[in-house]
Chain A
Amino acid sequence: MGTLATTRARWRRHPLAAYAVRRVAVGAVLLMFVSMLVFGATQVLPGDAASAILGRSATAEQKEIYRKELGLDRPLPTQYWSWISGVVQGDLGKTLASRDPVTSFISVRVGKTLVLALATLLVLLPVALALGVWAGIRRDRAADHVISGISLGFIALPEFVTGTLLIASIAVSLKLLPPTSIIESGQSPLTSPRILVLPVLTLCITAAAYIIRMIRAGVVESMSSDYVQMARLNGVPEWRVVVRHALRNSLAPTVQVLALTVQYLIGGIVIVETVFAYPGLGQGLVQAVIARDIPTVQGVAMLLAAIYVVINILADFVVVLLIPKLRTSQ
């Protein structure tokens, strides 16, 4: 009892640390569940890895031998245990056919995906924030209607439609940019940034609409709040009202929006990489699913899930930092 009480006391003194520990613990439990889901989902995929690798005319005996070699004949709980105990030690297993570590499959591709994601965020965030704020402070005026209307339209357009339209117009008809983002040997997205333009644009158009609307809603709410009214009545200049009062208080929701954007990108990149044949992690995941390369599917899915969870925790943490009263509330 005594120890518990002191621990509690110490935690109360560091509510932020307590909060962080709690969130991380929840995240770990969540990832454990995700790992079971991922493992279960890959088990119910129709198709069979041994036949995938050996080719159509392989005999049943050949396949049986191969399944044994891969350990696919063991009971599912055993397979799950040996997989998950590897995962927690950073060993994601080996790809089925080439027997290379899944981690090396990931490391070749993850850089390209990061380049795409960062390029998207660099373009997306400033533009979307600016447009969102502008629409918010110009509520119900022409600028707001134009921005809100267009972004509403884009929300209804999924990435593959936007991407296809951009390819058809800008790349195929006007021939301004390459229609796909294939990378020949000796090239990289950094040496030929032209191939990044259309995928980044596609992701931005899809994600911006959402962010703009979120930011606009936050700003509109702040602008109609009592403290803004009060500031105005006190004769504070309008730009100061916006920057010091309205925006400051929209900051917390903005962090959440940023987190949501990154989470959206995790899914959106899988689609965009496929549409543009960009050889990143998302395309690799799709290929692995089609090829029934279970260890790769599991490894990439776990990585993406982990990123998702970590982003969430970080965002929550930053929000708590920004809004002190949340630190103590349970």
Chain B
Amino acid sequence: MKNDRDNRSGAPRERLTRRELIERSAAFGAFLSVPALIAACGGGGGGQETAPSPPAASTGGAPSASTSASTTPAAGAPKRGGKLRVGLNDGGATDTLSPWNIPSYNSDARAEQVYERLYKYDANGAPAPRLAESADSNADATVWQVKIQSGVTFHDGKTLTADDVLYSFRYVADEKNKAESLARLEPIDLAASKKVSDTEIEFHLKRPIGDFPGLLSEKALWIVPDGATEFTKQPNGTGPFTFVEWQPGVRALYKRNPNYWQSGKPYVDEVEILIITDPAARLNALLGAQVDEITFVDFVQAKAQEGNAAIQIVNAAQPQTNPFYVQLDAPPYTDNRIREALKLAVDREAMVQKVELGFGTVGNDLFGKGLPSYNDALPQRQYDPEKAASLLKAAGQHPFTLPLPSSAALPGMLESATAYKEQAKAAGITVQLQKLDAGSYFANDKYLKSPTYQTNWGQSFESQAQDGLFKDSPYNETHWYSKTWAEGFRKAQAIPDADKRNAAYKDLQVPLYKEGGYVVFAFFNTLDAASSKVMGIVPYIASGYENLGGFDFKDHWFAP
């Protein structure tokens, strides 16, 4: 019924709804074998199931009391008080108060208020210390000393100690607790890891991980009090807000934690999360001042509100993309001249302007643009149909026919494939567009089997690589595999110094740029909206449940 409604009510709404539909389906595992959906739902998270290695950054040396990559340069000093009402895009009977599984945006938004992790990705996609003060490794990155903040208390008054940290990690690692992040802790040898003092823990790893703070920033690695086993009645964490009451699928109310360890924060007295799944209703609630912030507006909604001074669009340049791919071992795509021609036959600027209405940026056939590990030194590929035609002629494949399955599964997906069909004509390429069902787009019998397909990713280079560029990667769409490349990647992964590690990652992107099977023509931004009265919302560039400034409502405040 909902679908009918959206279909009839026009394209803009349909786009977002379908995206949400898919995101949810992904979250529910309808299409578990899909990187695309994982990416759609939050690449940061899902992609790192097997070996966490998120967007790299400083190895967490610098202890900084506040996480405040996310504090704002807004005019004037933050003001205290008020009730912040936030409209969330998903939720329902399946929601629980337990923070150990985060299958939806609202479950993350709720958990972030009550619980905290040792590290959390900041607005720039780098792990920033939260409950941790610092993390330092031995020379080969197999032992990490983590120091935690002192004087932090849980909502029930108990003081945070190293015991709580070890207990929480062991709780996640215990299979019977069914915690989502179990697999993420796989590199940690928890039996050998130990408490050094009340504020220091020594983590022993099974293999070198250079970006341990990145691992500690992973979703659902919350720190709870030692011995806690009941999480569904009265949530008890160290977070900026304390739980008051909730009704699944309707709302959740939180009160300011007066003992929060970041001085002065949070600024607002209360946070209320309201579930508004319909995209139009959500925006209307914001326009009607029934809520102060909402997650997800689509390109058209955002464009329409651009001139509205009462609304701010939170435009987060997260690296979401709907690339085309070809399989490197499927003739005729074995010939790199053809792959190059396909990359030159797409008008990237037109994709950003016409399909994404300007809410995005051009791609250069690599993933994770904007994140610290992205190689932005490579020359930008341009639309060059003549050169594409001559490459095809040289390969003896002119004119060329490209079968391309696509669907309306994600924002701008089908639109970009349709645009490509027109753009590629000039190069003598006939794109045979095959429109597939959106709901099962990544769960049908074509995905990963068809030699060409349109897909979706939203992760950093290193995260996507582990999911899609190894022989045993679950979503090796392009059949990219090189033993030396894989060894190079493992070596890079073990470098504790962030700059050196990222330099190694950038080198690894050069062969992908030259010969890879992906046509990454554009990235699209994640768009949220808020009342202009709300200050302190900083867009997060890492994707993965990082809406509205990583749901860090503690940093938001109302302008007088």
Contact = CB atoms under 8 A, between A and B. Distances in A.
Interface of A: 46-59, 61-63, 65-66, 95-98, 105, 108, 158, 160-161, 164, 167, 171-172, 175, 178-180, 182-185, 267, 270-271, 274-277, 279, 283-284, 286-288, 290-293, 296
B335 interface: no
A175 B9 contact: no
B496 to A, nearest CB: 25
Contact of B28 (A179, A185, A292): A292
B113 to A, nearest CB: 15
A277 B278 contact: yes
B92 A270 contact: no
Contacts of A275: 5, 278, 280-281
Contacts of A158: 5, 8
Interface of B: 1-2, 5, 8-9, 21, 24-30, 32, 38, 41, 45-46, 48-49, 85, 87, 90-96, 101-103, 175, 178, 180-184, 220, 232, 244-245, 247-251, 253, 272, 274-278, 280-282, 284-285, 287-288, 290-291, 439-440, 443
Contacts of B94: 52-53, 95-98, 288, 291-293
Given A58-B101, A98-B232, A50 B29 contact: yes
A256 to B, nearest CB: 25
Nearest to A175: B288
A18 to B, nearest CB: 39
B277 A52 contact: no
A49 B272 CA distance: 28
Given A54-B101, A56-B46, A284-B93, A182 B29 contact: no
A32 to B, nearest CB: 24
A98 B182 contact: no
A235 B195 CA distance: 103
B462 to A, nearest CB: 17
Given A56-B46, A171-B288, A62 B280 contact: no
9 contacts: A47-B28, A51-B103, A55-B103, A56-B38, A65-B175, A160-B5, A183-B250, A288-B94, A293-B94
A288 to B, nearest CB: 5
Given A97-B94, A97-B96, A179-B287, A108 B29 contact: no
B284 A182 contact: no
Contact of B178 (A62, A180, A291): A62
B439 A46 contact: yes
A180 B290 CA distance: 8
Contacts of A292: 28, 30, 94
B95 A59 contact: no
Given A51-B28, A291-B94, A56 B178 contact: no
A283 B103 contact: no
B553 to A, nearest CB: 16
Contacts of A96: 93-94
A293 B232 CA distance: 18
Contact of A47 (B29, B41, B85): B29
A161 B7 CA distance: 12
A185 B30 contact: no
A287 B277 contact: yes
B26 A182 contact: no
Nearest to B247: A108
Contact of A49 (B28, B46, B285): B28
Given A57-B182, A279-B250, 4 more contacts: A48-B28, A98-B232, A276-B281, A287-B249
Contact of B27 (A55, A178, A276): A55
A53 to B, nearest CB: 6
A271 B1 contact: yes
Nearest to A63: B29
A293 B2 contact: no
B71 to A, nearest CB: 28
Nearest to B177: A62
Nearest to B97: A98
Contacts of A171: 284, 288
Contacts of B5: 158, 160, 271, 274-275
B164 to A, nearest CB: 23
B93 A288 contact: yes
Contact of B249 (A52, A61, A167, A284): A284
A292 B274 CA distance: 21
A55 B87 CA distance: 22
A54 to B, nearest CB: 5
A172 B175 CA distance: 50
A55 B45 CA distance: 10
A98 B248 contact: yes
A164 B30 contact: no
B253 to A, nearest CB: 5
Contacts of B290: 178-180, 182
B38 A274 contact: no
Contacts of A182: 87, 251, 274, 276, 285, 290-291
A92 to B, nearest CB: 12
Nearest to B85: A184
B217 to A, nearest CB: 14
A148 B49 CA distance: 62
Contacts of B220: 55
A52 B46 contact: no
A324 B387 CA distance: 87
A274 B180 contact: no
B21 A290 contact: yes
Contacts of B232: 98
A185 B92 contact: no
A113 to B, nearest CB: 13
A284 B103 contact: no
A277 B88 CA distance: 11
Contact of B277 (A105, A286, A296): A286
A7 to B, nearest CB: 45
Contacts of A161: 8-9
Contacts of B275: 277, 279, 287
B472 to A, nearest CB: 15
Nearest to A95: B93
List 10 A-B pairs, minimum CB-CB distance, nearest first: A51-B29, A287-B92, A52-B28, A55-B180, A47-B30, A179-B284, A291-B94, A179-B288, A55-B101, A291-B92
A65 B178 contact: yes
A100 to B, nearest CB: 8
Contacts of A46: 25, 30, 439-440, 443
Nearest to B175: A62
A310 B41 CA distance: 43
Nearest to A159: B5
Given A98-B96, A179-B288, A59 B183 contact: yes
A276 B250 CA distance: 13
B281 A52 contact: no
- A62, A172, A175: most-surrounded residue (chain B CB, <10 A): A62
Contact of B9 (A164, A184, A296): A164
Contacts of B41: 56
A98 B1 CA distance: 26
B244 to A, nearest CB: 8
B559 to A, nearest CB: 21
B93 A56 contact: no
A164 B9 CA distance: 9
Nearest to B48: A57
A123 B2 CA distance: 26
Contacts of A179: 281, 284-285, 287-288, 290
B278 A54 contact: no
A34 to B, nearest CB: 17
A287 B249 CA distance: 7
B278 A274 contact: yes
A37 B523 CA distance: 44
A97 B175 contact: no
A58 B21 CA distance: 20
Given A95-B94, A277-B278, A55 B102 contact: yes
A312 B290 CA distance: 39
